[in-house]
Amino acid sequence: MSTGEDDRDELITELLAEAHGLRMKNEQISQYTESKIAELVKLQRELGTIRDGFETVVEQRNELESKLAQVTTELEHLRTIYTSMTDQRDRLRGRVAEVETSRAFKIGQRVIRFVPFLHEKQSPKQ
């Protein structure tokens, strides 16, 4: 055999080895790419789950804000009613105090002591 043929066989062997090496590198790159794509798909699913959870939390927060606004409005209304009723109570207490200190009330109390049947008709039965 001539050296030309040996060089050619050696070159073919090297090319086949190089082609095999490139195929192996290509396989490694494909496996790496597939694993990264699988990770991205998994992360995308997790992100979707997190997004759904976040949307649920936002809806719940909006509902709670709405309820808080309603309760706050009701509380303000109740405060107004409470203030009004307290003022009314205080006015009535003052009026009762005026009546009890009036001369006519005191005379009426004395008359009731002397005429007991009037007191029995006016007092509620127990």
Q: DSSP letters of 10-62?
A: HHHHHHHHHHHHHHHHHHHHHHHHHHHHHHHHHHHHHHHHHHHHHHHHHHHHH
Backbone phi and psi for residue 125, each to the nearest 5 degrees, phi listed first: -75, 140
Q: What pLDDT digit, counting tens, does each position of 6-41 carry?
A: 888 899 999 999 999 999 999 999 999 999 999 999
End-to-end CA, the chain:
139
Q: What is the pLDDT of residue 1?
A: 53
Low-confidence ranges of the chain (pLDDT < 50): 126
